[in-house]
C-alpha cells in the first residue's frame, strides 16, 4: 500500500526509534526485504528514518548467496550494505550456518568428505566479501534441539550429520579469520519463556557456549531471537533474566535479533484490542530484556504487517488462518502502531531504570 509521503513520517528525526535508542546506548533495527528496498520508496525511507542497524531477512543466507556450488551471488546483500552505508546504518550478517535455506544443489553435492571445505570456503568468501562492513555475523543459527535426542541437546542438522559438533567450532574460527572486525554471534530461539521446553533450551545453549569458551572458540555475542506470543499462557521473567546474566558473566554481548509478536492466540478480532495486547507484550518483554546491561541492540523481524513472515507459509497450524497478523510496529500503510510507541517508551524507560 502506498501512503502519501508525509503520512509515513509522523515520527521522523527526534521521534524516531533510532534516536530514542541511541540516547540510551542502543541500536534499533529491523530485518530487510531486499525486493521491497528496491521497489518501495516509502519502505526505504522508513528504514532510513527509523533504524541504525539492519539485517537481511533472506539475502545473506546460503539459498540467496549460492546459486550453484561454484557460484556466489552478492547483488542482493550488496544492495543492503550500500543502502546502509549511505545512511550511516550498521549491518548484521545472517547467517553463515543454518539447517534451513540451503540451496537445492546442497544435499546432492556436499558430502562428509567435502563438507568442511564447503563450510570454510563459504565463510571465507562471504565474510571476506563483506569484511569490515558487518557489525555482527550470526555465525551459527539454531543449533539447539533437545528433542533430537543427542546427549548434548544439539540439532541433527545437515551440518551435524556431515561434520559432527565440531562444525560449530570450525564456523566460528573461520569467521574470525574472514572478518576480525565483526562480532561473532550465536543466534537462537525458544529461550524466552518460563516453561520446561525453553528452560531446557537455555541450559543446552549455555552448555554449548561454555564448551566453546573452554575450547577458546572465538565468540563475542549471543542473539536472542525473541519470536514471542501475545496471550501466551507462560510468563517471561526469571528464566530469561538468569540466562542473560549467565551470558554476561561469560563476557558475551546480547542482541535481540528477531523480535516480533505472534498474536494467533488472541481470542478476539477487534483490531484496537489486538494492537493493545501486542503493544503490551512488547512493553513487558523489553522491560525485562532492557534491564540487562549487556543488551546492546533490538531488531524486529520486519517493518510492517504487510510483509511479516508470520503471514506467509502454511496456515494449517494457525488458530486464525484467515486473520492477518498485526505482529510488527508499522501497519501495512507504514503508519506507526501502538507497538511502535511501546518499544520507543521501553528505550526511554531503560535509562531511568524504571521497569
User: Which of the residues 198 through 237 are near ligand G3I (CB under 6 A)?
Assistant: 225
Cell 572458540 found at: 217
Nearest CA-CA partner of 189 in 246, 216, 156, 229: 229
Can you say how many angstroms the Cα of residue 166 is from the centroid of all Cα atoms in its chain? 24
CB 148 within 8 A of CB 102: no
209, 260 contact by CB (below 8 A)? no
The answer to whether the CB of 193 falls within 8 A of the CB of 234 is yes
Q: Is 226 left (phi over 0), alpha (psi -120 to 50) or beta?
A: left
User: How many positions of this chain bind ligand G3I (CB under 6 A)?
Assistant: 9
Using a 10 angstrom Cβ sphere, with 0-12 exposed, 13-18 middle and 19 or more buried, the burial of residue 281 is buried
Answer yes or no whether residue 258 interacts with ligand G3I by CB under 6 A: yes
SS3 for 66?
Answer: coil
Reply yes or no on whether 142 is catalytic. Answer: yes
Q: Min. distance of Cβ 214 from ligand G3I in angstroms? A: 27
- Using CB under 6 A as the binding rule, whether residue 325 contacts ligand G3I is answered as no
Contact flags string 282-311 toward ligand G3I, x per CB under 6 A: ---------------------------x--
Part in contact with ligand G3I (CB under 6 A); list of ranges 57-65, 149-157, 169-177, 342-350? 57-65
Catalytic residue among 57, 258, 292, 338: 258
Which residue number, 100 or 148, has a Cβ lying nearer to ligand G3I? 100
User: Using the rule CB under 6 A, is 57 a contact of ligand G3I?
Assistant: yes
Q: Binder to ligand G3I among 44, 101, 162, 203 (CB under 6 A)?
A: 101
Least Å from the CB of residue 225 to ligand G3I: 6
Binding range to ligand G3I, per CB under 6 A, among 22-30, 53-61, 193-201, 236-244: 53-61
CB neighbours of residue 85 within 10 Å: 12
C-beta of 141 vs 281, nearer to ligand G3I: 141
Here the cell at position 226 is 525473541
Residue closer to ligand G3I (CB basis): 57 or 192: 57
Q: How many CB atoms are closer than 10 A to CB 37?
A: 19
- Coil vs helix vs strand at 326: coil
| Residues facing 229 on adjacent strands | 262
Q: Which of 19, 57, 142, 263 is catalytic?
A: 142
Q: Catalytic site residue 200?
A: no
Applying CB under 6 A, among 75, 85, 100, 104 the residue interacting with ligand G3I is: 100
Cα 287 from Cα 350, distance rounded (Å): 7
CB 148 to ligand G3I: min, Å: 17
Measured from the CB atom, is 11 or 30 closer to ligand G3I? 30
Contact positions vs ligand G3I (CB under 6 A): 57-58, 61, 100-101, 141, 225, 258, 309
- Catalytic residue IDs: 142, 258
Amino acid at each position: 500500500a502506498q501512503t502519501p509521503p508525509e503520512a509515513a513520517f509522523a515520527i521522523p528525526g527526534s521521534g524516531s526509534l533510532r534516536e530514542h535508542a541511541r540516547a540510551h546506548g542502543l541500536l534499533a533495527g529491523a530485518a530487510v526485504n531486499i525486493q521491497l528496498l528496491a521497489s518501495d520508496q516509502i519502505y526505504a525511507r522508513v528504514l532510513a528514518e527509523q533504524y541504525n542497524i539492519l539485517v537481511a531477512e533472506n539475502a545473506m543466507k546460503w539459498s540467496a548467496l549460492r546459486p550453484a556450488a561454484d557460484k556466489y551471488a552478492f547483488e542482493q546483500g550488496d544492495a543492503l550494505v550500500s543502502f546502509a552505508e549511505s545512511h550511516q546504518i550498521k549491518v548484521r550478517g545472517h547467517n553463515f550456518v543454518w539447517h534451513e535455506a540451503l540451496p537445492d544443489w546442497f544435499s546432492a553435492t556436499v558430502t562428509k568428505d567435502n563438507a568442511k571445505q564447503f563450510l570454510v570456503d563459504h565463510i571465507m568468501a562471504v565474510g571476506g566479501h563483506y569484511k569490515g562492513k558487518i557489525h555482527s555475523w550470526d555465525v551459527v543459527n539454531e543449533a539447539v534441539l533437545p528433542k533430537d535426542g543427542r546427549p548434548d541437546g544439539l540439532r541433527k542438522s545437515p551440518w551435524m550429520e556431515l561434520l559432527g559438533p565440531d562444525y560449530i567450532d570450525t564456523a566460528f574460527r573461520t569467521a574470525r579469520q574472514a572478518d576480525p572486525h565483526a562480532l561473532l554471534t550465536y543466534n537462537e530461539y525458544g529461550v524466552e519463556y518460563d516453561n520446561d521446553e525453553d528452560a531446557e533450551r537455555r541450559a543446552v545453549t549455555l552448555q554449548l557456549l561454555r564448551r566453546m569458551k573452554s575450547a577458546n572458540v572465538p565468540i563475542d555475542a549471543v542473539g536472542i531471537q525473541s519470536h514471542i506470543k501475545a496471550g501466551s499462557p507462560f510468563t517471561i521473567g526469571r528464566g530469561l533474566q538468569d540466562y542473560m546474566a549467565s551470558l554476561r558473566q561469560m563476557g558475551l554481548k546480547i542482541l535481540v535479533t528477531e523480535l516480533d509478536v505472534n498474536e494467533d492466540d488472541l481470542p478476539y478480532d477487534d483490531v484496537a484490542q489486538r494492537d493493545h495486547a501486542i503493544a503490551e507484550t512488547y512493553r513487558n518483554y523489553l522491560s525485562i530484556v532492557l534491564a540487562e546491561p549487556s543488551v546492546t541492540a533490538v531488531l524486529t523481524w520486519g517493518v510492517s504487517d504487510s510483509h511479516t513472515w508470520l503471514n506467509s507459509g502454511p496456515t494449517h497450524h494457525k488458530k486464525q488462518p484467515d486473520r492477518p497478523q498485526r505482529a510488527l510496529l508499522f501497519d501495512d500503510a507504514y503508519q506507526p502502531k501502538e507497538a511502535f510507541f511501546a518499544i520507543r517508551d521501553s528505550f526511554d524507560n531503560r535509562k531511568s531504570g524504571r521497569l
